[in-house]
Chains A and B, each alone.
Chain A
Amino acid sequence: SQTIHQWPATLVQPVGSPLSLECTVEGTSNPNLYWYRQAAGRGLQLLFYSVGIGQISSEVPQNLSASRPQDRQFILSSKKLLLSDSGFYLCAWSVKSGANVLTFGAGSRLTVL
């Protein structure tokens, strides 16, 4: 069966520090991968999605970047965190043919101080 892992689950970082959130999927190949940010009252905002290795599309301009170095690995990064980067980040995957049905990870809560 397919599983999706995100880590770390919780992270507290100072302003200006770098960020790396990782997401891996097991039990499937060539998935679509997504990063969402979940904010109270604002729902789920799509940040990045990827249809293949090295293929990243950004939905909103921001202080974050994403990379897909391997087929089932998706990384969310920042060189210098801002206070506004605090939030709950969700990774998700879908199969190519069912790109509308997403399976979500448990999420990573980032607090920038």
Chain B
Amino acid sequence: AQRVTQPEKLLSVFKGAPVELKCNYSYSGSPELFWYVQYSRQRLQLLLRHISRESIKGFTADLNKGETSFHLKKPFAQEEDSAMYYCALSGLSGGYNKLIFGAGTRLAVHP
């Protein structure tokens, strides 16, 4: 079965500190992984996807198939990074691609 696990409900750091939001997945096929973000009073939106291999707002995420992980990292956190972050997995189920989300991690960056 497809499953996404985000072990931390809350991650609290100071401005300038490194950030790593953990995400582990379970999927028997070849997964496609995403990070979505929801800033305060804004809509949930796509942050990045593993196939793009790009850095968005200083965030990067590398798919590690051996560890079945897709952790989100940023070397120096900013206050504006404070938001709810969701890891998501896309895989075939019932003949269709479905996007399954983790429980989310709230990142709080303090000045």
Binding site for B on A (CB under 8 A): 34, 36, 41-46, 49, 51, 57, 59, 90, 99-107
CB of B43 within 8 Å of the partner chain: yes
What is the predominant secondary structure among interface residues of chain A facing chain B? strand
**A44 in contact with B86 (CB, 8 Å):** yes
Known contacts being A41-B103, A42-B103, is A49 close to B96, with CB within 8 Å?
Answer: yes
Known contacts being A44-B86, A49-B98, is A101 close to B46, with CB within 8 Å?
Answer: yes
**A46 in contact with B100 (CB, 8 Å):** yes
**B97 in contact with A99 (CB, 8 Å):** yes
**A100 in contact with B43 (CB, 8 Å):** no
Distance in angstroms between the alpha carbons of A49 and B6 in the assembled complex: 24
Number of A-B contacts (CB under 8 A): 51
Contact of A105 among B34, B43, B99, B100 (CB under 8 A): B43
Q: How large is the interface on B (under 10, 10 to 19, 20 to 34, 35 or more residues)?
A: 20 to 34
Of the A-B pairs whose beta carbons lie under 8 Å apart in the complex, a sample of 15, sorted by A's number, is: A34-B99, A36-B101, A43-B86, A44-B44, A44-B101, A46-B98, A49-B96, A51-B96, A99-B96, A100-B32, A100-B49, A100-B97, A100-B99, A102-B99, A104-B43
